[in-house]
Copies of this chain bind each other. A is one copy, B any other.
């Protein structure tokens, strides 16, 4: 499964001595971006298009299980679990070693920022995301992806 390292700095923490709760959404987005980049896609290309394409988050569910702290080196995973048309659902974990600190289910929609309209996720990108997920053994994702075709 795709995984991306995130180091915790002072900027990430709060006066409670732990990572501020909103910041896990930043790490999740870094991992999703790197997941897509690892497949050969740069988000800036979409943004530079005259219609200004990009993913917009529609819904997030996040469970905080154990807090991250200063100097932690975390891993953030990203796995496509479902998609249909303009919409995709990504499951993500924030881990310290084998310890899962937070779990997210993120629903994104591919949109034109300019036209403020959803638009079908580029077919090539979907294929690559599905392939990346199934290649690493995430069979449920493969199933969901197949079902959506």
| A contact set with B: CB distance below 8 Å | 7, 9-11, 13-18, 20-23, 25-26, 29-30, 33, 42-44, 47, 52, 54, 56-64, 67, 69-71, 113
Contacts and interface: CB of A to CB of B under 8 A. Distances in A.
The 6 closest A-B pairs by CB, nearest first: A22-B25, A13-B15, A44-B71, A21-B57, A11-B26, A10-B14
Best-surrounded residue of A25, A30, A42 (most CB of chain B within 10 A): A25
Nearest to A105: B61
B11 A54 contact: no
* Number of copies of this protein chain within its complex: 4
Task: Name the residue in A10, A15, A16 with the highest tally of chain B Cβ atoms < 10 Å from its Cβ.
Answer: A15
A113 B18 contact: yes
If over half of A's interface residues share one DSSP class (helix, strand or loop), that class is named, otherwise mixed; here it is: mixed
Contact of A58 (B13, B64, B69): B64
Contact of A56 (B58, B64, B113): B64
B60 A62 contact: yes
Contacts of A18: 15, 56, 113
A139 to B, nearest CB: 27
A57 B23 CA distance: 12
A103 B52 CA distance: 26
Contacts of A11: 14, 20, 22, 26, 29-30
B25 A15 contact: no
Contacts of A44: 69-71
